[in-house]
Amino acid sequence: MKQFESKVAVITGGASGFGKEFARIGASLGMKLVLADVQEDSLDSTVAEFKSQGAQVIGLRTDVSKAEEVQVLADAAMTAFGEVNLLFNNAGVGAGGLIWENTQKDWDWVLGVNLYGVVNGVRIFTPLMLEAARKDPGYQGHIVNTASMAGLLNPPAMGVYNVSKHAVVALSETLYQDLSLVTDQVHCSVLCPFYVPTGISQSQRNRPANMANDQPPTRSQMVSQALSDKAVNSGKVSAADVAQMTFDAIREDGFYIYSHPQSLDSVQRRMEEIVNQRNPGDPFGDKSEVRAGLIAALRG
């Protein structure tokens, strides 16, 4: 996808982090924006901000874990602008702790947003894009699914999140293959960021009341939260940097998008462990002090 002016971008998680930066670049390129977010006050202020800059933009509060709300989002996009060219399945939440300590509600919430949010976006929007391609030989579409380096590695005390993001990588790779069978006009990418300051470590603020746990967080969950806060907030690569990398990849039809390519050394070690049937090693690689800190905190 080379041309962006006057094209339509739908962005979930569009009121903060990567989503807002995707929107910022889209607006600068003359795109029409459809922003979705579960946090309505932030969404309203973001829509107002882009409107004040002259962008054509609408916003819709959307819980992406609910298929019916994603359908409403798609209907609103089609009513407002007539087609969708660029879809960012970007909304995401995080939860940590030892994997057996995660509750049913933890699993339902994280998989609902991180996995089913992408499933719902792909299932509902892809047919609209394929129909547009059938009608117009010049139509170009692209889907970007936000996964994580946690979708390629398995750091400890992040089990629910890891599972959700591995599933998004698998879904995206399959989507890439499936699209290639039926069209040359619609493509896709998977974004695998490492630690970037986006606010995801504070996603509990938007956790629905019906998904709240009855008991306080466990020791491992508190330790995981503290480590996540530290790692995310100390990230040197910004959400704006990642958004620019993503648009560059869309232009070049690149599938894998990495915020920290140097982290691929750990991915390569994991692949070699799988192929050579070695037991899993330290996913933190040369930062063994992270694992040592976790052990000390959990056993101390």
Domain definitions of the chain by residue range:
8-299
Residue 80, helix vs strand vs coil: helix
pLDDT on residue 229: 82
pLDDT on residue 264: 94
Q: pLDDT digit string (tens) for 132-156?
A: 999 999 999 999 999 999 999 999 9
**Does residue 234 have a pLDDT over 90?**
no
What span, in angstroms and rounded, lies between the C-alpha atoms of 243 and 226?
Answer: 26
Q: pLDDT digit string (tens) for 164-191?
A: 999 999 999 999 999 999 999 999 999 9
Nearby residues of 273 by Cβ (< 8 Å), 6 or more positions away: 279, 280, 281
Q: pLDDT digit string (tens) for 64-119?
A: 999 999 999 999 999 999 999 999 999 999 999 999 999 999 999 999 999 999 99
Which segment of 22-26, 42-46, 59-63, 228-232 scores lowest on mean pLDDT?
Answer: 228-232
* Mean pLDDT, rounded, for 201-210: 84
**DSSP conformation letters of the chain:** ----TT-EEEEETTTSHHHHHHHHHHHHTT-EEEEEES-HHHHHHHHHHHHHTT--EEEEE--TTSHHHHHHHHHHHHHHHS---EEEE-------B-GGG--HHHHHHHIIIIIHHHHHHHHHHHHHHHHHHHH-TT--EEEEEE--GGGT---TTBHHHHHHHHHHHHHHHHHHHHHHHH-SSEEEEEEE--S--SSGGGGGGG--GGG--SSPPPHHHHHHHHHHHHHHHT-SS-HHHHHHHHHHHHHTT--EEES-GGGHHHHHHHHHHHHTTPPP--TTTT-HHHHHHHHHHHH-
Q: pLDDT digit string (tens) for 242-290?
A: 999 999 999 999 999 999 999 899 999 999 999 999 999 988 777 778 8
State the amino acid at position 79 in one-letter form.
T
Mean pLDDT, the chain, whole residue set? 94
**Does residue 22 have a pLDDT over 70?**
yes
pLDDT on residue 202: 77
pLDDT on residue 201: 66
8, 26 Cβ separation under 8 angstroms:
no
Please list the active-site residues: 161
Q: Please name the fold of domain 8-299.
A: Rossmann fold (3.40.50)
**Does residue 211 have a pLDDT over 90?**
yes
What span, in angstroms and rounded, lies between the C-alpha atoms of 22 and 37?
Answer: 13
